[in-house]
Amino acid sequence: MGDELEYKHADSIFKKERFQEFLAEDLIPTLRMNYILVGIFAIVIFFGLIQFPLRSFVVGNVGGLKIQAGYPLVFFDLQLDRGFENPFKVLPLAFDLGIYLLFSYLIDILLTALSRAMFKSKEFDIKPGINIFKKKLDREVVEI
């Protein structure tokens, strides 16, 4: 029992460095992807709330009022005439979040590629190593 197994990659399975071995640098998502995902989700919820029939609610006609949110599948369906039913639907929510995650990843990759293409020029390239700047002497030609 003195032989112990060493698992080299056991602690680095989910680390970013492990994925960098297999993916190109442009295909690795950045932290911007989280903000894009939250933005997409907030836009979908906002459009669901905009479609609320406010006129019927103010008049007092509560029968048949619905608050729905979700695209392409409705994952939140609150009907005010029903009792205490759960308005969330799990499978449509998982499907929609998968689609939103895919779109946010693609948008992040496109933004990364565009920003690298726009700002990559010879002026901004930084070469590794020490740069030594020598003063150039202006030499004037003097005729005798």
In this predicted model, what pLDDT tens digit does every residue of 44-86 receive, in sequence order? 999 988 888 777 777 777 777 888 999 999 999 988 777 778 9
Residue 68 belongs to a domain? yes
Residue 4 belongs to a domain? no
Binned at pLDDT 50, 70 and 90, residue 29 comes out as confident
Contact between residue 73 and residue 58 where contact means Cβ atoms under 8 Å apart: no
Residue 124 belongs to a domain? no
| Mean pLDDT, all residues of the chain | 80
Cα 14 to chain center, whole Å?
18
Look up the domain containing 59 and give its range. 25-119
Residue 108 belongs to a domain? yes
Number of domains in the chain: 1
Residue 95 CB-half CA count within 13 A: 12
- pLDDT for 93 beyond 70: yes
Residue 79 belongs to a domain? yes
Residue 36 belongs to a domain? yes
| Mean pLDDT, residues 32-51 taken together | 93
| Mean pLDDT, residues 94-107 taken together | 96
| Mean pLDDT, residues 76-99 taken together | 89
